[in-house]
């Protein structure tokens, strides 16, 4: 455990250094506003990808409705700050909890499903949330909410991203995380070994939804406007691609995937006509030539400074 603690603190120190360097670059004006926006977007996507990776990569529950949780967080936090003058950070926490509540709500009935059926059910849930928002006048219907105060700064987003990564990564390394991994590898065997599979699947859904909700709130308070259209199936898919691109089941992979894809999207913005064609071609080629993702299933740790890590296990199937 001593080694684990060491690598944990090393990670925190490195993160702080990264924060400090970027903060200096921002205050001295070397990074402009566009750069700052991109950085914030990267952090939001890292939160989403890391939280989805807990559900999809670690627990093996194939969920493609993550944008649904994000939209709940975005709407709850926006309404709290707009209509009830709740402080920003408190609104974010409540938004996260609301999303987690929906995570449990969605998690429980879908527990009977697995594989493709669960994927389709979560997709259906995501779409239903979108259609409900679309038809609710209180939250602005199709035009959505606007005039949301811009309170997401680099410092706030960095803090929340760090909390997300630390909490989820420590959860994965705890005995609870091992239980989730066991469910992924073989659910029936895990159940036979006395693991409460229902409980852990619900925990994974709730925790994943919690951070997705917070990410949603943070993005709402960055981009002034939210509408149901921005949380559609495409958004869920984008988050899934980040996770798979980096390497399913790897926190480091989810972070790398989120960064690479966000940068790629920002660069491709210059070619609006060809953007999606290039994006989809890269996606197909990536899946054909490196289906395990950029990092395979390597975990997030700094152990490799000391000695080479054991060979990562094969990527999951099913």
Partner 1 sequence: MEYFIQQLINGISVGSIYALIALGYTMVYGIIKLINFAHGDVFMVGSFIGLFSARNLANAGFPPVIVLILSLAISMTVSALLGISIERLAYKPLRKASRIAVLITAIGVSFLLEYTGVFFLGPQAQGFPEIINKKQYTLFGSTVQVDSNQIMILGTTVVLMIVLQFIVHRTKIGKAMRAVSYDMEAARLMGINVDRTISATFAIGSALAAAAGVIFGMTYNSVDPMMGVLPGLKAFVAAVLGGIGSIPGALVGGLLLGTVETEVSSLGYSSWRDGVAFAVLILILIFKPSGLFGKNVREKV
Task: Point out which residues bind partner 1 (CB under 8 A).
Answer: 56, 62, 109-110, 112-113, 115-117, 119-121, 123-125, 127-128, 131-132, 134-135, 188, 233, 237, 240-241, 244, 248, 273-277, 279-281, 283-284, 287-288, 291, 315-318
Q: How far is the CB of 156 from partner 1 (least distance, A)?
A: 32
N-term to C-term CA, the chain: 33
Identity of the residue, 56 or 77, whose beta carbon is nearer to partner 1 in the bound complex: 56
Per the DSSP assignment, residues forming a β-bridge with 226 are 145
Q: How far is the CB of 187 from partner 1 (least distance, A)?
A: 9
Identity of the residue, 125 or 154, whose beta carbon is nearer to partner 1 in the bound complex: 125
SS3 label, residue 89: helix
Please check whether residue 148 is in contact with residue 225, taking contact to mean a CB–CB distance below 8 angstroms. Answer: yes
**Phi then psi for 226, rounded to 5 degrees?**
-135, 145
* Calculated CA dihedral for residues 79, 84, 89, 90, nearest 10 degrees: -110
DSSP of 219-286, one letter per residue? HHTTSS-B-GGGGSHHHHHHHHHHHHHH-TT-HHHHHHHHHHHHHHHHHHTT-TTTHHHHHHHHHHHH
Nearest to 153 by CA among 221, 200, 205, 96: 221
Q: How far is the CB of 238 from partner 1 (least distance, A)?
A: 10
Q: How far is the CB of 113 from partner 1 (least distance, A)?
A: 6
Q: How far is the CB of 2 from partner 1 (least distance, A)?
A: 36
Which residues neighbour 9 within 8 Å (Cβ) at sequence distance 6 or greater?
Answer: none
Q: How far is the CB of 99 from partner 1 (least distance, A)?
A: 19
Identity of the residue, 125 or 211, whose beta carbon is nearer to partner 1 in the bound complex: 125
Which residues neighbour 34 within 8 Å (Cβ) at sequence distance 6 or greater?
Answer: none
Identity of the residue, 220 or 243, whose beta carbon is nearer to partner 1 in the bound complex: 243
Q: How far is the CB of 7 from partner 1 (least distance, A)?
A: 29
Identity of the residue, 16 or 142, whose beta carbon is nearer to partner 1 in the bound complex: 142
Identity of the residue, 5 or 317, whose beta carbon is nearer to partner 1 in the bound complex: 317
Identity of the residue, 170 or 281, whose beta carbon is nearer to partner 1 in the bound complex: 281
Per the DSSP assignment, residues forming a β-bridge with 145 are 226
């Amino acid at each position: 455990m001593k080694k684990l603690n060491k690598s944990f603190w090393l990670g925190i120190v490195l993160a702080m250094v990264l924060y400090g360097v970027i903060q200096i670059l921002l205050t001295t004006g070397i990074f402009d506003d566009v750069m700052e926006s991109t950085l914030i977007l990267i952090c939001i996507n890292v939160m989403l990808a890391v939280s989805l990776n807990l559900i999809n990569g670690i627990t093996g529950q194939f969920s493609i409705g993550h944008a649904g949780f994000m939209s709940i967080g975005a709407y709850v936090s926006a309404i709290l700050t707009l209509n009830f003058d709740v402080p920003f950070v408190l609104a974010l926490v409540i938004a996260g909890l609301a999303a987690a509540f929906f995570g449990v709500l969605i998690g429980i009935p879908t527990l009977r499903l697995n594989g493709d059926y669960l994927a389709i059910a979560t997709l259906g849930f995501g779409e239903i949330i979108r259609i409900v928002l679309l038809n609710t006048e209180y939250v602005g219907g199709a035009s959505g909410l606007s005039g949301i105060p811009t309170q997401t700064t680099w410092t706030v987003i960095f803090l929340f991203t760090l909390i997300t990564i630390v909490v989820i990564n420590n959860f994965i390394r705890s005995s609870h995380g091992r239980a989730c991994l066991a469910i992924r590898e073989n659910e029936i065997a895990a159940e036979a070994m006395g693991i409460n599979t229902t409980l852990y699947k619900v925990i994974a859904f709730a925790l994943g939804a919690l951070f997705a909700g917070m990410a949603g709130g943070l993005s709402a308070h960055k981009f002034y406007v939210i509408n149901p259209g921005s949380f559609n199936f495409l958004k869920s898919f984008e988050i899934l691609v980040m996770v798979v691109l980096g390497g399913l089941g790897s926190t480091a992979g989810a972070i790398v995937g989120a960064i690479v894809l966000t940068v790629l999207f920002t660069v491709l913005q210059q070619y609006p006509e060809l953007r999606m064609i290039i994006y989809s071609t890269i996606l197909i080629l990536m899946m054909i030539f490196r289906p395990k993702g950029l990092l395979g299933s390597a975990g997030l740790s700094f152990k490799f400074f000391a000695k080479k890590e054991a060979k990562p296990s094969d990527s999951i199937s099913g």
